Amino acid sequence: MKIQESAEMYLETILILSKKNHQVRSIDIANELNYAKPSVSVAMKNLRENGYIEMDSDLYITLTEKGRAIAEEMYERHTLLSEWLIFLGVDKKVATEDACRIEHVLSAESFEAIKKHVHGHISN
Amino acid sequence: MKIQESAEMYLETILILSKKNHQVRSIDIANELNYAKPSVSVAMKNLRENGYIEMDSDLYITLTEKGRAIAEEMYERHTLLSEWLIFLGVDKKVATEDACRIEHVLSAESFEAIKKHVHGHISN
DNA sequence: CGTATGAGTTAATTATAGCTAACCATATCT
DNA sequence: AGATATGGTTAGCTATAATTAACTCATACG
């Protein structure tokens, strides 16, 4: 089963939230994404059933190996793309929003090519 | 009503087909996009009702002012993005597919920034 | 003890956007 | 005239992914 764009978004959000908070619950994801609780609840059920996340008895969410791989891939894309758009003069908010949509539709090949190109421009 | 991604795709396809053929029918769009006839039929009905295209009595399709503006914007994005990805070393087929998805999710601001940047790299 | 709050869930609805099945109209071929 | 092919349409189905309404459950307040 091919992973869906929405699933990628949820996994990335879990990663981001677990970087700044220590524990992540469905409600935190709902707040972060401005989604209604049931939307997240259903999505988490799916991610759980497909082995992308685990939930302990207190309903705290952790990424599995498989889920983390996707989350980190998305996060890397997001970071690189938004930094690059900002570097090109795009407003930070707009750059972030755009990166957030582009990251899900890029092939691995194109991303690698962009990455190589960008590293020749931004020094960090 | 905000124009949908699928609508942008149809309008761009109509523009492309009308560049190479002289007349465009629903069936041509279906063949180009590898969609079933009814999918296109319904989509054309929508585009017609919202003033993006017109169909004469022989069912040949033309873009309205409004429809053409969107089609040309998409076409420009598509062209620039795919040329650029190819320039960065991405396989032509992959570049085209990626451009096709990115073109619909980019803000005007980001596209303009990318365009400016690309024009400093590719000379054509 | 009872009620309010917070978190999670289920069920039903909505929108987008594709599909197949079935049908109609026109034109062409024998 | 009858069969076939082409193009278009309608109706109904499917999948994804969000929503609201209504429910459960546990904890905390007073």
Give the count of domains, chain B: 2
Which domain, by its residues, includes B82? 75-119
Question: Are A21 and A44 members of one domain?
Answer: yes
Domain annotation covers residue A124 = no
Is pTM beyond 0.85 here? yes
Question: Are A59 and A91 members of one domain?
Answer: no
Instruction: Tell me the backbone φ, ψ of residue A55, rounded to 5 degrees.
Output: -125, 125
3 state DSSP class of B98: helix
Domain annotation covers residue B11 = yes
Domain annotation covers residue B82 = yes
Using a 10 angstrom Cβ sphere, with 0-12 exposed, 13-18 middle and 19 or more buried, the burial of residue B26 is: buried
Mean pLDDT of A44-55: 97
Report pLDDT for B22. Answer: 87
CATH of the domain at A52: 1.10.10.10
Question: Are A81 and A106 members of one domain?
Answer: yes
d(CA B63, CA B70): 10
**Nearest Cα residue in chain A from B112:** A90
Question: Are A61 and A13 members of one domain?
Answer: yes
Strand D closer than 7 Å to the CB of A27?
no
Question: Are B59 and B87 members of one domain?
Answer: no
Domain annotation covers residue B124 = no
Question: Are B60 and B80 members of one domain?
Answer: no
The residue lying closest to nucleotide D6, measuring its CA against C1', is B27
How distant is the Cα of B96 from the closest Cα of chain A, in angstroms?
10
Of A88, A102, A114, the CB nearest to B105: A102
Question: Are B25 and B42 members of one domain?
Answer: yes
Residue-wise pLDDT tens digits, A66-112: 999 999 999 999 999 999 999 999 999 999 999 999 999 999 999 99
Question: Are A62 and A77 members of one domain?
Answer: no
Residue-wise pLDDT tens digits, A5-37: 999 999 999 999 999 998 999 999 999 999 999
Of A88, A91, A98, the CB nearest to B106: A98
CATH of the domain at B112: 1.10.60
The residue lying closest to nucleotide C21, measuring its CA against C1', is B38
Q: Torsion angle, CA of A70/A75/A80/A82, rounded to 10 degrees?
A: 130
d(CA A91, CA A73): 24
SS (H, E, C) B10-32: HHHHHHHHHHHCCCCCHHHHHHH
